[in-house]
Amino acid sequence: MKNLIATEYKFRDEWNDMHNLNPVKIIRMKSPFYEGEKWAVRKLNFCLNSKDEWEFEPMPSQRNDDFYRRCRFDTFEEAYSRAVEVRKKENERQS
């Protein structure tokens, strides 16, 4: 069990749709287009960018360095805190 690494975290609450069909996920990513591991916050075909906006996530062959800089986070903590911040903003808008 020591060698297991979590690669995906899923929000399970009212932020997701009623049937939890489109959950917000934080996913550990590895790619030949950047060094090391990064984290993505995803919902459906969108990912959270560094401006706290949901951005369409193109197929891997259509992504460029700018996309990776905007839409990948260096740590889980950064990805999680941005996801929580966006959740707060979205909840405020709905109120």
- pLDDT, position 92: 80
d(CA 40, CA 75): 10
Cβ–Cβ contacts within 10 Å for residue 67, how many? 16
Tens of pLDDT along the chain (95 residues)?
677 777 888 876 655 555 556 788 999 998 887 888 999 999 989 999 999 999 999 998 899 999 999 999 999 999 999 999 998 888 787 66
3-class SS letters over the chain: CCCCCCCEEECCCCCCCCCCCCCCEEEEEECCCCCCEEEEEEECCEEECCCCCEEECCCHHHCCHHHHHHHCECCHHHHHHHHHHHHHHHHHHHC
User: Would you kindly state where each structural domain of the chain is located, as residue ranges?
Assistant: 8-94
